C-alpha cells in the first residue's frame, strides 16, 4: 500500500509517517515512480508507535519497540530493551507524580493563605 492508505489505516497523517521515516523508525520500499510502498508489518509498527505515544512515550522511547518488531517478534515489548524502557518510564512517571503532588500542596497552601475558605469549594483531596 502507499502512504495515504497506511496513514488512513493507522490513523495518522502522511506527514507523521514521513517524519517517522526520517527518524529511522519506519522503512519504505520505493516503487519505480518513487512512491513509498508499505506492507502489513508497517501497519503494526505504526500502531505500536501510536500506542506508545498516547501513553506519553517519545519517539526515541519507541525506538527499541520498533526494532524489536523488526527483529521478527510478534510484540514490540518482547525484548529486554523494551522492558527496560517500560521501567525507566515508570520511574519517570512516578517522579512526575511526586512533583505534581508537591506543586499541588504548595498551590493549595497559597490559595488557603490568600483566601481562607476558598479551598472548601475546590473539590480537593478531601
Out of 40, 74, 114, 126, which residue is the one contacting its own copies (CB under 8 A)? 114
- The entry of DNA, its own copies, none near residue 13 (CB within 5 to 8 angstroms by kind) is DNA
Strand, helix or coil at 34? coil
In angstroms, the CA 71 to CA 34 distance is: 26
51 binds DNA (CB under 7 A): no
Please state, in angstroms and as integers, the Cα–Cα distance from residue 42 to each residue in 8, 11, 29, 50, 100, following that order. 13, 13, 11, 12, 37
Q: What are phi and psi of 101, to 5 degrees?
A: -65, -40
Residue from 15, 39, 71, 100 touching its own copies (CB under 8 A): that is: 100
Residue ranges in contact with its own copies by CB under 8 A: 55-56, 75, 77-78, 82-83, 86-87, 89-91, 93-94, 96-97, 100-101, 103-104, 106-108, 110-111, 113-115, 118, 122, 124
Amino acid at each position: 500500500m502507499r502512504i495515504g492508505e497506511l496513514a488512513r489505516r493507522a490513523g495518522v497523517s502522511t506527514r507523521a509517517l514521513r517524519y517517522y521515516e526520517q527518524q529511522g523508525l519506519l522503512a519504505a520500499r520505493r516503487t519505480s515512480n518513487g512512491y513509498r510502498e508499505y506492507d502489513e508489518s508497517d501497519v503494526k509498527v505504526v500502531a505500536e508507535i501510536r500506542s506508545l505515544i498516547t501513553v506519553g512515550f517519545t519517539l526515541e522511547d519507541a525506538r527499541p519497540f520498533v526494532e524489536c518488531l523488526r527483529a521478527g517478534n510478534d510484540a514490540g515489548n518482547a525484548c529486554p530493551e523494551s522492558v527496560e524502557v517500560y521501567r525507566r518510564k515508570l520511574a519517570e512517571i512516578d517522579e512526575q507524580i511526586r512533583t505534581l503532588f508537591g506543586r499541588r500542596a504548595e498551590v493549595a497552601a497559597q490559595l488557603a493563605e490568600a483566601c481562607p475558605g476558598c479551598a472548601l469549594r475546590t473539590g480537593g483531596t478531601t
